[in-house]
Chains A and B, each alone.
Chain A
Amino acid sequence: MYRSHVLVCGGTGCTSSGSQQIMETLKAEIEMNGLTEEVSVVQTGCHGLCALGPIMIIYPDATFYSMVKVEDIPEIVSEHLLKGRVVTRLLYNETVTPSGNVKALIDTDFYKKQHRIALRNCGIINPEVIEEYIGTGGYEALGKVLTEMTPDDVIQCLLDSGLRGRGGGGFPTGLKWKLAKQNDADQKYVCCNADEGDPGAFMDRSVLEGDPHAVLEAMAIAGYAIGASQGYIYVRAEYPIAVERLKIAISQARELELLGNNIFGSDFSFDIDLRLGAGAFVCGEETALMTSIEGNRGEPRPRPPFPAQKGLFGKPTILNNVETYANIPQIILHGAQWFASMGTEKSKGTKVFALGGKIHNTGLVEIPMGTTLREVIEEIGGGIPGGKKFKAAQTGGPSGGCIPAEHFDIPIDYDNLISIGSMMGSGGLIVMDEDDCMVDIAKFFLEFTVEESCGKCTPCRVGTKRMLEILTKITKGQATMEDLDKLEELCYYIKDNSLCGLGQTAPNPVLSTLRYFRDEYEAHIKEKRCPAGVCKALLSYRIDADKCRGCTLCARNCPNNAISGTVRNPHVIDQDKCIKCGACMEKCKFGAIYKK
């Protein structure tokens, strides 16, 4: 038996910052110190604090080491694991009090306000060992469902819990299952949408990497509830760690006969296969996803018929998102009331967000619905670096919108976000400060949708392209106010006429920035000025002759020889030659160079 467990994060974030080498060195050091029998090294999924990776937690005392380097390992092993002396300089600084004491991880600002249901095992168990999942109560929900509950009980439980789809739409999950159950067919399918594609979103990916069995268990429960015997997980091929862990999880579940025929001795049989997506954003749309599983080009089709009637291979199908599934075993075990007691009136439970952009604690957080944006950004997220001012938060990626500072205290749930012109989305939350230009942000998302539009319907294919052209004109200072009107008109046209969710939501980033930041658009058009100083075509770098000491540093660093002047005399930037790279401003020691 081991007296201590060393958990090393093997999520994508920490893997890319070198956690694999850390694991290897750690194992070698432990062996060298003769601790192999006493200390176990466990590779886990994401702990959430990706900004501080690679992360290592040592139990039972839950010591949290952040930004660990390979060189630190011998010290951690000989000091902490052998002699029990915590290596304070490597601790996550939030866990050290001013008096030098170490406080528990759950008392830090980042974790204190979180409530982990979908992420409950992420960063705690080894996702590649099915027994660890079972050790935390895994597959008990499936056992309960198969031995004590009828399919209708299961569906009723989900309806009572108030669980809504976590992929962004927020459709009640229980209702979706109920509709699929009502349709008789010789074959039905359960699908899992793991085609997470929003820029900056990594919630589903982290669940799959950290707790893949929770998704498998929930899909089997869904199969029992609607009467399906086959499930498909549609996951992006560009998530290699998630794909690998899913493969391992499926084979382990088959080995223990938790997937297969007559599970728990019942009449119920269920199996799951993986389908890898090539990374087209439109394949996250349900009809396109199913077309892609069928082996065709991933294009959406009109609804109705809805998947619950005619889905995959023309059979009744349910399709849920990864995070939705990850909640389900817990709802079955703890009951609908338990889940419904969390959150707001119409949005129950918790939601996982991927925090990104201008924020200290970049990473993964799970909060109860109804938490305010202020709590998420200032307390959990640790605020905005460099003392900059908060401007807006972007939720829902290319389909979503912005939440401006005036709505900073809005409780986050599905309906509140829609009422202010944004949406929950799958959970990407990008924080923007005063240095971000809202027109530029809208343009960024439009570039993404133009690239990802499948081209099947005209409003989306041509409309988004035209929108991008107008936005580009605005950022270059070449647009007129008529262009702005045309842009807005196009938005509503595309919203109403596109075939699928991609096109219907593509104008949202423009509409919501227009709603809250119209003055920025107008500054670009009327004054030919970018208030945030982002749009290159609209700004120029100048030298303040009073401050310039003539040190020649800027002239020597200019890649295009645009700066001229003699030693100890003020320099001048030739605006025709300047490529606006900002190198001179960075180098100037006297603050003499400014953007206009």
Chain B
Amino acid sequence: MKSLEELKAIRERMQSQVSMRAEDHNHTRVVVGMATCGIASGARPVLTKLSSLVQEKNLTDKISVTQTGCIGLCQYEPIVEVMEPGKQKITYIKMTPEKAEEVLERHLIGGHIVEEYTLSGADIK
């Protein structure tokens, strides 16, 4: 290694991987329903999309993406729940990888809830 820049480059590449293993109460938790109903309606690509985006954007120290079992609203799967510390839980329904990316950009980074995809806001009648 001949310069600090080389070291920094390796660090940046590895940081998002390693910081996933930190424990922090102030994490925003993004939970994807991955029960049979969720998997059947396409939750896995949503999960992998969210997880890779968070790592690509070096957000693993703030956001953790995990999965959970059946939430009980099987007809609305894939479901993604966003739990920010000290705020009310937001439930997004009928997600796709594209919608998930939008939620990440507008809600998790931008701070604006994407009303049209939420359980209360989406047109589900």
Residues on B with beta carbons closer than 8 Å to the beta carbon of A83:
34-36, 39, 67, 69
A7 at the interface (CB under 8 A from B): yes
Given contacts A3-B48, A105-B23, A135-B14, contact A143 B55 (CB under 8 A): no
Contact B56–A140 (Cβ < 8 Å) = no
Query: Given the interface contacts A1-B56, A135-B11, does A85 sit within 8 Å of B2 by beta carbon?
Result: no
The listed residue (A82, A258, A264) touching B34 by CB distance below 8 A is: A82
Question: Does A106 count as interface, using CB distance less than 8 angstroms?
Answer: yes
Known: A134-B14, A135-B17, A135-B18. A1 touches B67 (CB 8 A): no
CB under 8 Å from chain B, chain A span 451-466: none
- Interface flags for A1-14 (1: CB within 8 Å of B; 0: not) read 11111010000000
Contacts of A85 in B (CB 8 A): 35, 68-69
Q: How far is the CA of A240 from the CA of B105 in the complex (A)?
A: 49
The answer on a CB contact under 8 Å between A135 and B34 is no
User: Interface 1/0s, chain A 238-259, versus B by CB < 8 A?
Assistant: 0000000000000000001110
**Segment of A56-64, A177-185, A369-377 engaged in the interface with chain B:** A56-64
Neighbouring A residues of B33 by C-beta, 8 Å? 84
Q: Are A59 and B39 in contact (CB under 8 A)?
A: no
With A257-B1, A264-B3, A265-B2 known to touch, is A134 a contact of B21 (CB < 8 Å)?
no
Shortest Cβ distance from A260 into B: residue = B1
A124 to B101, CA, bound (A): 29
Within 8 Å by CB of B65, from A3, A57, A136, A143, lies A3
Q: Is A55 an interface residue (CB 8 A)?
A: no
- Report yes or no: B10 in contact with A131, Cβ–Cβ below 8 A: yes
Name which residue of chain B comes closest to A80, CB basis: B67
Contact B67 A132 (CB under 8 A): no
Residue with the greatest number of chain B CB neighbours at <10 A, chosen from A59, A84, A136, A258: A84
Q: By the criterion CB–CB under 8 Å, are A61 and B64 in contact?
A: yes
Residue of B nearest to A3 (CB): B51
State whether A135 and B15 are in contact (beta carbons under 8 Å apart), knowing that A62-B23, A84-B69, A105-B23 are contacts in the complex: yes
Instruction: Report the minimal beta-carbon distance from A41 to chain B, rounded to whole angstroms.
Output: 13
* Interface residue? A262 (CB, 8 A): yes
In the assembled complex, which residues on chain B have CB atoms less than 8 Å from the CB atom of A328? Answer: none
**What chain B residues lie within 8 Å of A264 (beta carbons)?**
1-4, 7
Contact A104 B69, CB 8 Å, known A83-B35, A135-B11? no
Give bound CA distance, A125 to B27, whole Å.
Answer: 20
A191 to chain B, nearest CB (A): 24
Distance in Å from the Cβ of B3 to the closest Cβ of chain A? 6
Residues of chain B contacted by A136 (CB below 8 angstroms): 18
Query: With A3-B47, A60-B65 in contact, is A124–B21 under 8 Å at CB?
Result: yes
Contact yes or no, A84 B68, CB < 8 A: yes
Q: CA of A217 to CA of B65 in the docked complex: distance in angstroms?
A: 33
Write the nearest CB–CB distance from A356 to chain B, whole angstroms.
26
Q: Provided the pairs A7-B21, A60-B20, A60-B66 are in contact, do residues A134 and B7 lie with their beta carbons within 8 angstroms? A: yes
Assuming the contacts A83-B39, A84-B34, asked whether A125 and B52 have C-beta atoms less than 8 A apart, the reply is no
Task: Chain A residues near B55: list those with CB within 8 A.
Answer: 1
Q: Are B1 and A5 in contact (CB under 8 A)?
A: no
Candidate in B2, B23, B51 with the most chain A CB atoms within 10 angstroms? B23
Determine if A132 and B20 form an interchain contact, defined as CB atoms under 8 angstroms apart. no
Interface residue from B2, B14, B27, B34 paired with A257 (Cβ < 8 Å): B2
Please indicate which of the listed interface residues B7, B19, B33, B47 has the most CB atoms of chain A within 10 Å of its own CB: B7
Contact of B13 with A by CB under 8 A: yes
Interface contact B21-A2, CB-CB below 8 Å? no
Once the chains bind, are B7 and A140 in contact (CB under 8 Å)? yes
Is A38 on the interface with B (CB-CB < 8 A)? Answer: yes
* Distance, CA A486 to CA B83, complexed state (A): 71
- Give A132 to B2 CA distance when docked, in angstroms: 19
Q: Is the CB of B65 within 8 A of A2?
A: no
Interfacial chain A residues near B4, Cβ < 8 Å: 143, 147, 264
Contact with A along B32-68 (1 / 0, CB 8 A): 1111100100000001100110011000100011111
B residues within 8 A CB of A3? 47-48, 51-52, 65
Asked if B25 lies at the interface with its beta carbon under 8 angstroms from chain A, I say yes
Give bound CA distance, A290 to B68, whole Å.
Answer: 56
List 24 A-B pairs, Cβ < 8 Å.
Answer: A1-B51, A1-B52, A3-B65, A37-B48, A60-B20, A60-B60, A60-B64, A60-B66, A61-B64, A83-B34, A84-B31, A84-B33, A85-B69, A105-B23, A124-B18, A131-B13, A135-B14, A136-B18, A139-B7, A140-B11, A143-B7, A257-B2, A263-B1, A264-B1
Excluding A134-B10, A140-B7, A265-B3, 19 further A-B contacts by CB distance (< 8 Å) are A5-B17, A59-B20, A60-B64, A60-B66, A62-B21, A83-B34, A83-B67, A84-B31, A84-B69, A124-B21, A132-B14, A135-B11, A135-B13, A135-B18, A143-B4, A258-B1, A262-B2, A264-B3, A264-B7
Q: Give the top 5 A-B pairs by smallest Cβ distance, nearest first.
A: A135-B14, A84-B67, A3-B51, A60-B64, A135-B18
Chain A residues within 8 Å of B, Cβ to Cβ: 1-5, 7, 37-38, 57, 59-62, 82-85, 104-106, 124-125, 131-132, 134-137, 139-140, 143, 147, 256-258, 262-265
